[in-house]
Structure 1
Amino acid sequence: MGDNTLVLGHRVSEWCGVAPVLEEDIALANTALDLIGQTTLWLNLAGEVEGKGRDADALAFRRDVWDFHNVLLVEQPNGDFGQTIMRQFLFDAWHRGYLTALTGSSHTQVAAIAEKSLKEVTYHLERTTDTVIGLGDGTEESHKRMQSALDRLYPYIGEMFFKDAVDEAMISEGIAPDPTSLRAAFDSLLDEVLAKATLTRPDGTFAHKGGKSGQRHSEHLGHILAQMQWLQRAYPDATW
């Protein structure tokens, strides 16, 4: 969870100062800040559970690509504004469903983080839903760009609902939900939004995998980490 929000938060922050209009610049910057704030909560908990003295900063800035377990969707380039919004919408739709389930976690800290994060993510989803509909059912140009974004990003959806051995262990302990159980609600929301946006869901069931398990990442993650981690790599333990 922390790797998802860390990587996506950094990606979204790349729009700061260059968004199409001032309102979107502020909205995207605030979204990035929310995601980074959630990252701190998740990675501090991960460090505590790990028990090796690593905090959120150490986990964010001192790990290499193969140690990250984010889904591949969040690594994908911003592209144009439409692609950024489509990527955010797809993630938000999954994120809200997963956080909602996590509020009932048997792990009290996981449940507390999920409850706090859910308030922010609910707003994120409302905003991206409205924007996807507005752009999809907007001009000929905006519609074309949103359909292109959906076509490009759709193959990355499946990984968010893929179940592995880690999921099985958490399910057995009541810590987290079965991710496959969340797909139906996600698909229902996606169909509803795409219909209003006059966008067509791509055919096919192929799904890119590997990021969540840490087995395979796209080339983009290495570039993200090179930019995000350079200060701590160049000046270890630097403080303001």
Structure 2
Amino acid sequence: MREDDHVYLSLSEDQDDSRWAFGTGFEDPLHGVDTAVPDGVDAAELAALCLGLGDDALVAAQRLAEWCTRAPELEEEVALANIGLDLLGQARLLLTRAGQVDGSGRGEDDLAYLREPHDYRNVRLAELPNGDFAFSMARLLVFSAHRLAVFERLAAGHPDPVLRAVAAKGVKELAYHRQYAAEWVVRLGDGTDESHRRMQEGLDAIAPYVEELYRAADVRDEVEAVLAQVVEAAALTMPSAEPMAGDGRAGQHTPCLAPLLFEMQEVARALPGGRW
């Protein structure tokens, strides 16, 4: 495949070319931003939006962390770890904002470590077990394409300046996440018979969970245009599937979430209020 055929190059047009560990930088995206809830903004609705987006990022980051020591190559292990760190950084900002505006006074650690599975509001796509590398790339492509479209809208016009600032920072990160996933989907789909088979199976496996993303935030046209471009370049098909019953935003999750949270929360619950 020629370099100018690479679909991920066109996906990254007009985006910052920087790639690594945006979530670990020292620049504070909220420096100088007024944290008061603006007039006319419903605090409960704002808190729910931040909580859902924060939970999406937190759970997805935890799944990506599970690739450490398991990725096909060291380079991919580092890339996945950095993508996870980006999402963790987003989760911290969003959960902090949710706690600020919901009237509970809870901080990011309270929301991350002291809630039960039914209190989480992430989409169920994020919580599914990693499967093989092809499955994880299929999920990352769909997850990041949807999240990038949502963040672009939030950055462009949400009335809360804090959420706008968080989204503006996240757009740069998510553009790379989408690019990275698209590159691998094309590479595997347009590779050997075995890699093609696995990549198609990955897309088939996530298909029942895609519709839920649009219920959480309807950016269908933007996302489907991206997916169609990548899938065509990869010689794959984007399957249609009956949506899986349930709604993560309503606290209705798969059995996969509870074990993930148990592992993530174990130390914080065993040593409440612990400091390192």
* TM-score where L is the length of structure 2: 0.79
CA–CA separation in structure 1 for the residues paired with 2:215 and 2:62: 24
1:222 aligns with 2:258: yes
Q: What corresponds to 2:212 in structure 1?
A: 159
Q: Deviations over 1:174-199 (max 9, x none)?
A: xxxxx33x101211111111000111
Runs of 4+ in 1 over 2 A off after TM superposition: 203-209
Write out aligned runs for 1:152-231 (5 A): 152-162=205-215, 179-180=217-218, 182-214=219-251, 216-231=252-267
Q: Deviations over 1:23-79 (max 9, x none)?
A: 101000101111101100000000101222211011000000110000000001100
Shift of 1:160: 0.8
Q: What corresponds to 1:14 in structure 2?
A: 66
Q: What corresponds to 2:197 in structure 1?
A: 144
C-alpha contact 2:210 2:243 (8 A) present in aligned 1: no
Shift of 1:232: 1.1
1:79 aligns with 2:116: no
Q: Determine helix, strand or coil for the equivalent of 1:162.
A: helix
C-alpha contact 1:72 1:208 (8 A) present in aligned 2: no
Q: What corresponds to 1:62 in structure 2?
A: 114
Q: Deviations over 1:132-181 (max 9, x none)?
A: 11111111111000100100101101001116xxxxxxxxxxxxxxx33x
Q: Which letter does structure 2 place at the counterpart of 1:49?
A: V
Q: What corresponds to 2:76 in structure 1?
A: 24
Q: Which letter does structure 2 place at the counterpart of 1:105?
A: H
C-alpha contact 1:156 1:208 (8 A) present in aligned 2: no
Q: Which letter does structure 2 place at the counterpart of 1:100?
A: E
How many residues are paired up? Answer: 223
1:132 aligns with 2:148: no
CA–CA separation in structure 1 for the residues paired with 2:144 and 2:242: 21
C-alpha contact 1:72 1:218 (8 A) present in aligned 2: yes
Q: Which of 227, 232, 236 is equivalent to 2:272? A: 236
Q: Determine helix, strand or coil for the equivalent of 1:7.
A: helix
Q: Which letter does structure 2 place at the counterpart of 1:114?
A: A
CA–CA separation in structure 1 for the residues paired with 2:241 and 2:127: 22
Q: Which letter does structure 2 place at the counterpart of 1:131?
A: W
C-alpha contact 2:212 2:243 (8 A) present in aligned 1: no
CA–CA separation in structure 2 for the residues paired with 1:45 and 1:144: 42
CA–CA separation in structure 2 for the residues paired with 1:123 and 1:71: 21
CA–CA separation in structure 2 for the residues paired with 1:79 and 1:238: 34
Shift of 1:200: 1.2
Q: Flag the 1:96–1:16 CA change in 2: closer, same or farther, 3 A.
A: same
Shift of 1:205: 4.6
Q: Deviations over 1:90-118 (max 9, x none)?
A: 10110110000001101111101000111
- Structure 1 stretches of 5 or more lacking a match? 164-178
Q: What corresponds to 2:141 in structure 1?
A: 89
CA–CA separation in structure 2 for the residues paired with 1:105 and 1:207: 30
CA–CA separation in structure 2 for the residues paired with 1:8 and 1:112: 21
